[in-house]
Structure 1
Amino acid sequence: MTFLVLACALPQYSNWWPFFMVAFYLLAPFPIVISRRYGDGTGNTNPCREIALFITAILVVSAFGLPIILARAPQATPVIMWGSAGLVITANIIVFLTILGFFFAFDNDDVDYSMW
């Protein structure tokens, strides 16, 4: 989140358009969480899980594509600067790897929580 705030608040960038990435960060885990709730829980592939993975992949790719599109906007001045787009892409990498790590760490349902 620090890189995302820096992409918005640094004086040479000073544009709050990159902060819309927070919507992608909030929406990305929901399809997987919903598919786990309504799936059969065996870990096998089923249509619900496959659709959830597809929607999550769309959200992640869109989160990486939006800053590039905003930096290449065909105007006299781009919507965001390339440095800001680089900071947003760095923030995307860190946030999505954190979400992935969370799902790997808490994937097992039969974990004994008393060991924490």
Structure 2
Amino acid sequence: MAVKGLVLLALAGSAALTFLMLACVLPQFGVYWPLFVLMFYFLAPIPILIARKLGGDADSTSTACKELAVFFTTGIVVSAFGLPVILAHAQIILWGACAFVLAGNIIAFLTILGFFMYFTQDSDYEFQRW
């Protein structure tokens, strides 16, 4: 089962990056500004990982550190969806490229969520109990 999960996560990550690259390299789009979304992909899991490292007792369901980490992660995810919309509204990228980036964002962040659900044994948050 572990190999199937890893293969599925790798496939989903590849699909997300494919959508992001299509938003940049297709001739009708031709600009590479959407690649700045990669920064959000790398930043998104960092607050949760830090909170798990610094978290107090494992028995408490909610600590201030974990809640702050979820807040920062939410801000990073919302920013990743907002950046291409703002770039398209300012006519720096086309709306078609924005759609590709948003599709890639959905897949990428679901992949990150799947990674945390798959490789985490403790279920501290409600969204990890699906």
Which category describes the TM-score, using the shorter chain as reference length?
0.7 to 0.9
TM-score norm. by structure 2 comes to 0.78
Aligned residues: 105
1:55 aligned partner, one-letter code? F
1:30-41 equivalence runs, <5 A: 30-40=46-56, 41=58
Report the equivalent of 1:68.
85
Shift of 1:43: 5.3
The structure, 1 or 2, with the larger RCO (C-alpha pairs under 8 Å, 6+ apart) is 2
Deviates more, 1:63-72 or 1:100-109: 100-109
Q: 1:81 to 1:44 in 2, by over 3 A?
A: same
Whichever residue aligns with residue 8 of structure 1, its letter is C
Between structures 1 and 2, the one with greater helix share:
2
Q: With structure 1 as the length reference, what TM-score do the two structures score?
A: 0.88
Name the larger-Rg structure.
1
2:41 corresponds to? 25
Note the residue ranges of structure 1 that are not aligned, 5 or more in a row: 110-116
What pairs up with 1:1-116 in 2 under 5 angstroms?
1-40=17-56, 41-42=58-59, 44-73=61-90, 78-108=91-121
User: How big is the alpha-carbon RMSD for the aligned residues of Structure 1 and Structure 2?
Assistant: 0.9
String of CA shifts for 1:16-50, please: whole Å, max 9, x gaps. Answer: 00000000000000000000011023351000000
Gaps of 5+ in 2: 1-16, 123-130
Corresponding residue SS for 1:14:
coil
